[in-house]
Amino acid sequence: MSDIEHPIVLTTQGRVMGKTKAGVQLYCAIPYAAPPVGELRFRAPQPVDAWDDIHDGTRFGPAAPQTASGGMTDRVDPAWNEDCLTLNVCTPMADDGARPVLVWIHGGGYRTGRSSIPWYNGTSFAQRGDIVTVSINYRLGALGFAELSHLDEDLDTSGVNGLLDQIKALEWVQDNIRAFGGDPSRVTIAGESAGSFSVSTLLGSKRAEGLFHRAIAQSGAAHHTMRKTDAQAISNQLLIEAGVSHVSDLQARGAGDILKDQIRVDRWLEQQSMNLGMSAFYPSEGNVVIPDTLLGAHQEGQGASIPLMIGTNKDEASLFIMGQVDEAALDRQLQGFGAGSELKARYQAMFPDFNLTQLAIELSTDFMFKIPTLRLLEQRAKHGSEDYVYQFDWESRQGHLKATHALEIPFAFNTLEAAGVREFVGPGDLPSHVALEMHDRWMAFIKGDAPWTQYSLSDPQRMHFDEQSTLQLADEEARSAAWSGIR
């Protein structure tokens, strides 16, 4: 094996051996924190011990513990292990090139996902853009976000350990990315769905200041953190479902058993009337990462100096609403949003040709993604922010999906030929021209350039990606007003 085939890089913890593939170098499963097991479960990430041997970085590591949801994006349980705090680096060359760096935070509702999904392959960023891509794992579900500080004061970060993992990975990037040909002063964080919620949270957190310089938020903003009291009520139920009375018993419980406990907590939460707008085990407030409310931090201007690219997909919720929706189901949906007949009437007036299923998809898309994005832009604009807004409009040829949630990812990464993409895109020729358009715009932003005309409240320019991508005025006043006092 030659050094070209299996290059070796010296990190602050020790040497890492990678592999050369498709003309770029890939270093997999590099530990950035100590394994969060035993006494370190439910605690903030700790420094990883140095190693003397050469770490084999030629294969991806296991995912964080998780259970597949059965949906289109995670039908099969991946190989997982509680020892999961690793990252991957894809680089044109581990030299002194000082290239821009993209750090990718995967989605999955803070419950599923992993850094090794083929859609996140950074090869095209390396080949076409001379960009270094880092993809990270972080703790998920109860193991990453169970708020237990009221039960053990030493677990004061337990409700945001998954976010602290992300911050720890960004600290690793600052310390090590130069050895992989990257520039630690040119780091862009990016993520989709829960990864985008994470990006918005890191933007609004003083704890993450100085660790990144640009941000891309794909389908997610700043409405997805939980009040501490609600998070603690959920954690109390976790102990009940686990059949234990002390946190120490939960710490000793098998990770697989905790995954089963999570599912029972989900069923319990469905019977409550908490109207959280999110699932159990999302990040909570009132801690070192989110001292108060996240949206409040953005209102005060936290993170407003960081240039932001942010957007949503036209039909996000079609991924989650597959069957036909009747009147009763639509009313239950509105109740879950904390809304009622007035919002329903407004949407029927705005979309007179929509049937009930289409209305449900539009409402859910707006509640989860579009309205939070508009609210975040409103707050950032007060502080002179630099924002670039997009909407992904290209419709899947799988008719019911249209421009669904997560569909934009392989376009942004230029990975349309990756496993699983065809199921989303549908039959026919791959829309490579749309992917190249998006990919080039993403690369321009990562390199520090303006990808298109800047957004402002007085001139809300938004790039629409479709067969022919165009810059359009985003007239969302009626939509925004409909949610006033609700979202």
Q: Annotated active-site positions, please?
A: 193, 316, 405
Give me the DSSP letters along 206-237. GGGTTS-SEEEEES--S---B-HHHHHHHHHH
Looking at residue 52, its amino acid is: D
Give me the sign of the Cα torsion angle 334, 147, 113, 415. positive
Dihedral, CA of residue 104, residue 24, residue 55 and residue 158, to nearest 10: 0
193: left (phi over 0), alpha (psi -120 to 50) or beta: left
Q: Report the alpha-carbon distance of residue 460 to residue 458 in Å, rounded.
A: 6
User: Across the strands, what pairs with 135?
Assistant: 88, 104
Residues near 441 by Cβ (< 8 Å), separated by ≥ 6?
A: 451, 452, 463
Looking at residue 288, its amino acid is: V
Q: Report the alpha-carbon distance of residue 360 to residue 364 in Å, rounded.
A: 6
DSSP reduced 3-state for 410 = helix
Whether 442 and 469 have beta carbons less than 8 Å apart is answered as: no
Residue 447: which of 288, 213, 237 has the closest Cα?
A: 213
Residues near 442 by Cβ (< 8 Å), separated by ≥ 6?
A: 216, 309, 412, 451
Please name the residue that has the structure tokens 């289109």: 72
